Amino acid sequence: MTARSLFSTTLVLLLSFIASGCISNAKKTERTPNIIFILADDWGWTDWEMNGAQEGSNFYQTPAINELARAGIAFRQAYAYPLCSPSRAALLTGQYPGARLAMHQAITKKSVATPSVSKSCGKREKLCFPSSRNHLPLETLTIAEVLQSSGYRTFHFGKWHLGAKPYFPDKHGFEKQFAVGGAGPGRGGYFAPYQGLSDIPQGPDGEYLAERLTDEVIKTLAEMKNEKFFIFLAHYNVHSPYQAKPAYIQKYQNKKIIDQRHRHPVMAAMIQSLDESVGKISEALNQLGLVDDTILVLMGDNGGIHWQNDKKFPDTPITSNAPLRCGKACFYEGGIRVPLIIQYPKKISANQIEDTPVHIIDFFPTFAELGDAYDQTDSNQLDGTSLVPIFDGKEIKQRALFGHFPRRKQVGSPVGGSFIRRGDFKLYLHYGYNDDRSNKIELFNLKNDISETENLANKMPKERDAMVKELNQWLAETGALLPQKNLNYSP
């Protein structure tokens, strides 16, 4: 059976279950909401005003994002993957991509169609690391396909980074795609004329890409006001190259720097454009009378880039994730804990702060339930858990969160590994120190040590061993590719 025929068979079976009522137990009489998911690229946990201020930063200005948070729920412990391609795969599939899909890296020329791991590699390498997938497999069911089968119009705007044209959004359940690209905004950068982006008619010279994407979303809102829709707006902001509107850059250059961690004027300007996008979309929903029937989600895809300086400001870090440790491309909290705000007036009361740990994989079952598509508890291939109980003021079932990141190098932390979070505790197995793949273990109590500074592995051996066992069981169950001892190793 081919991959496409396998997918078609799966989808037909799924639809038959939906039709028979064997899967869906949602209330049929309640209108299913419109869905807008805004994903910001490289937007770290403290890279907005309210979260930043709580951690001692007051450089960024995000009034629209602040207002969105006041209108709904701001999550303090929301997780994504430490890199952009896996986070997008996790959102669309509801699965842990590093383990189930063998997509643990951002897609590059080194990514492959069929990931594997060899037992022989460079002589100086103690371990041979798995390759990473270069596309989202066509047979993998996406939330766009599920919602489309339930009568939703589906639209993708912006960054894709889940494979070349044969694997573009239109092959994964989106009826329309706009400004599709890879890691960044293309060769032309953030200002028109755009180069390297697909499905985007040129705008006037000097047009800023974040504004263009926002305008296109608002046009679609006006066209779809009488239909159900799922809009995925994947902003390129605030990914490199670091480019922003000159007037905004000047504004932050002129701003008195009180906080010494956040002080990069271009980053602040790019965040302001992100904030304006959120504000314009919120205003459009209000004007079109759609706000009550729309769930609006804003989230970051991974931690901010903390290690890099911009050439124009060589002494100024791009951002800081403090008090979180590390940032993009590592599994410490700074790399995976991200901003998350959800507004849905029909179900979510205003001014809520939520401390339940949640994950980007949770939006597949959440949207499937809200869209009256099917109940995720009957689908064993999903790793996520519906967040709808939280919207109703209830608790979701306690569960462990996992991550698999077999990366040869990491920025600001040891070589890649895997982790498990259960309750307040988070445990890492680090790869690459000796011939054993799990020779270094770290255990942290995040409630008492958000910065992950005190390793409790030797102080809490029972907790450590139980979590190592659970993590190894998960790696085996998901078929995760693991580093292998290098038979050619010669120090």
- Asked if residue 429 and residue 387 are part of one domain, the reply reads no
Q: Does 7 fall in a domain?
A: no
Which two tokens mark 242?
A: 């670091």
pLDDT digits (tens, 9 = 90+) for 363-379: 999 999 999 986 543 44
- Asked if residue 169 and residue 141 are part of one domain, the reply reads yes
Write down which residue in 373, 395, 417 finishes a domain: 395
pLDDT digits (tens, 9 = 90+) for 255-284: 877 767 899 999 999 999 999 999 999 999
- Asked if residue 443 and residue 324 are part of one domain, the reply reads no
pLDDT digits (tens, 9 = 90+) for 183-225: 999 998 999 999 999 999 999 999 999 999 999 999 999 999 9
Return the biggest CA–CA distance within the chain: 68
Q: What is the CATH number for 464? A: 3.30.1120.10
Write down which residue in 335, 368, 395 finishes a domain: 395
**How many domains would you assign to the chain?**
2
Residue with tokens 């299913």: 32
Alpha helices, DSSP H only, in 125-243?
143-149, 209-223
Instruction: Please give the angle made by the CA atoms of 139, 151 and 288, to the nearest 5 degrees.
Output: 125
- Asked if residue 169 and residue 111 are part of one domain, the reply reads yes
Burial of 359 by CB count in 10 Å (0-12 exposed, 13-18 middle, 19+ buried)?
Answer: buried
Q: What is the CATH number for 119? A: 3.40.720.10
Q: Does 366 fall in a domain?
A: yes
- Asked if residue 234 and residue 257 are part of one domain, the reply reads yes
Burial of 281 by CB count in 10 Å (0-12 exposed, 13-18 middle, 19+ buried)?
Answer: buried
Q: pTM for the whole thing?
A: 0.92
Alpha helices, DSSP H only, in 262-384?
265-287, 333-336, 363-370
CA distances from 455 to 9, 224, 328, 447, 459 (A): 48, 52, 21, 14, 8
Question: pLDDT higher for 220 or 122?
Answer: 220
Q: Does 4 fall in a domain?
A: no
Range 295-323 average pLDDT: 89
Structural domain that includes position 407: 402-485
Q: How far apart are CA 234 and CA 194, in angstroms?
A: 17
- Asked if residue 84 and residue 211 are part of one domain, the reply reads yes
Write down which residue in 364, 395, 426 finishes a domain: 395
- Asked if residue 415 and residue 367 are part of one domain, the reply reads no
Asked whether residue 24 carries a pLDDT value surpassing 50, the answer given is no
Asked whether residue 9 carries a pLDDT value surpassing 90, the answer given is no
Instruction: Please give the angle made by the CA atoms of 435, 438 and 441, to the nearest 5 degrees.
Output: 130
Does residue 241 have a cis bond before it (omega within 30 degrees)? yes
